[in-house]
Amino acid sequence: FLTKPISPDHLLHSVRRAGEIIQLRANERLYKDHLEQEVTDRTAEVQHLADNLAEQNQELTIVNRLKDEFLQMMSHELNTPLNAVIGFSQLLMDMKEDDDPEKRRKCAENINLAGMRLTRTVDSILTLSSITAGELTQNYSQFSAQNFVDAVESEHSHLSELWGSSLHCSMADRSFEIEADFNQLQKATGHLIENAARHSGEGGKVSMFMELEDGHLHILVSDNGPGMTPKQTAIALEPMRQIDGSIGRKFEGMGLGLPLAKGIVEAHGGEMQIDSTPGVGTTVTLDIPVRKG
């Protein structure tokens, strides 16, 4: 307030003082707003870092779980055939000369099957390693579709004995010849057939159809197994993943079939398609560009 009479100097001083107070209060509001914004920004940064850390921890948890599942699968897939080899070879050693020859033959057959399974497991791991490193090379040759189908049928002659599923192979034309890597193509098809038989189980039906159309080789492997949802299909395409990764899972295997087949086909410049319906079955199509002989 001002006292009377008013001195000009005092008036000027009072006006300046009032202006300073107004400016200080304005600066105070600006500083307060700035400080609140700084706190908000820093809080957001801390929250972002905390969210990233939580996400990374979750990823590490998943990686550790997948590692444990992989080690369990590896142990099972290696120990099972090795135990069979040890067990049946011990039976052979304990047999006497006058024992039933059929028993000897059966033991030898079981040892052979176990050895083949172990070989396929090791070969699959090595093939996956080559695919991952981009080092899978092709040895192209010309061969007939009939010879290829015969080789596939011969390789899987024990399908019903192993999983109780039947295999039916057919072709649109028995006379055509193709040019591709015979062994890799047989390996990719074999993985699909074994996958289909393993999941179809006792009484299951597996079919392979082969055709050449517009310079593309189509190999379709179908089954009447449980089928997969889109989410399950995505998991099955991940190397060394199982839809059920537990040690007590219903289906054996290392989860390499679909990833290996896909990698081999893509190395040929082709693609793999999966059509699966839960409760109905699955059809996997290999589409590979080839030259007709």
Does 92 fall in a domain?
Answer: no
Q: What pTM was estimated for this model as a whole? A: 0.67
Residue 276 has pLDDT above 90, yes or no: yes
Does 161 fall in a domain?
Answer: yes
What integer pLDDT is reported at residue 78 of this predicted model? 83
Q: Report DSSP state, residue 172.
A: S
100 backbone φψ class: left, alpha, beta (φ>0; ψ -120 to 50): beta
Residue 247 has pLDDT above 70, yes or no: no
Average confidence (pLDDT) over 28-40? 88
- What rounded mean pLDDT belongs to the chain? 85
DSSP result, 57-95: HHHHHHHHHHHHHHHHHHHHHHHHHHHHHHHHHHHHHH-
Q: Classify each residue of 37-51 as buried b or exposed e, where b means 16 or more C-beta atoms within 10 Å of its C-beta.
A: eeeeeeeeeeeeeee
Q: Which of 216, 198, 215, 214 is nearest to 206 (CA)?
A: 198
* pLDDT higher at 198 or 67: 198
What integer pLDDT is reported at residue 274 of this predicted model? 94
Average confidence (pLDDT) over 103-125? 87
Reported as a single tens digit per residue, the pLDDT across 133-148 is 888 888 889 999 899 9
Does 204 fall in a domain?
Answer: yes
Average confidence (pLDDT) over 154-168? 84
Residue 6 has pLDDT above 70, yes or no: no
Residue 289 has pLDDT above 70, yes or no: yes
Does 63 fall in a domain?
Answer: no
Instruction: CATH number of the domain at 163, please.
Output: 3.30.565.10
Which of the four pLDDT bands, split at 50, 70 and 90, describes residue 240? low
Q: Report DSSP state, residue 245.
A: -
Does 8 fall in a domain?
Answer: no
CA distance 12 to 41: 43
CA distance 247 to 244: 9
Which of the four pLDDT bands, split at 50, 70 and 90, describes residue 221? very high
Q: Rounded to the nearest 5°, which phi and psi values hold at 63?
A: -60, -45
Rg of the chain's alpha carbons, rounded to an integer? Answer: 35
Does 251 fall in a domain?
Answer: yes
Q: Look up the domain containing 237 and give its range.
A: 141-289
The domain tally of the chain equals: 1
Does 201 fall in a domain?
Answer: yes
Does 39 fall in a domain?
Answer: no
Q: Classify each residue of 112-134 as buried b or exposed e, where b means 16 or more C-beta atoms within 10 Å of its C-beta.
A: ebbeebbebbeebbebbeebeee
Q: What share of the chain is helix, strand, coil (3-state, %, to 5)?
A: 60, 15, 25
Question: What Å distances lie between residue 11 and 4, 15, 24, 276, CA to CA?
Answer: 11, 6, 20, 91
What integer pLDDT is reported at residue 2 of this predicted model? 53
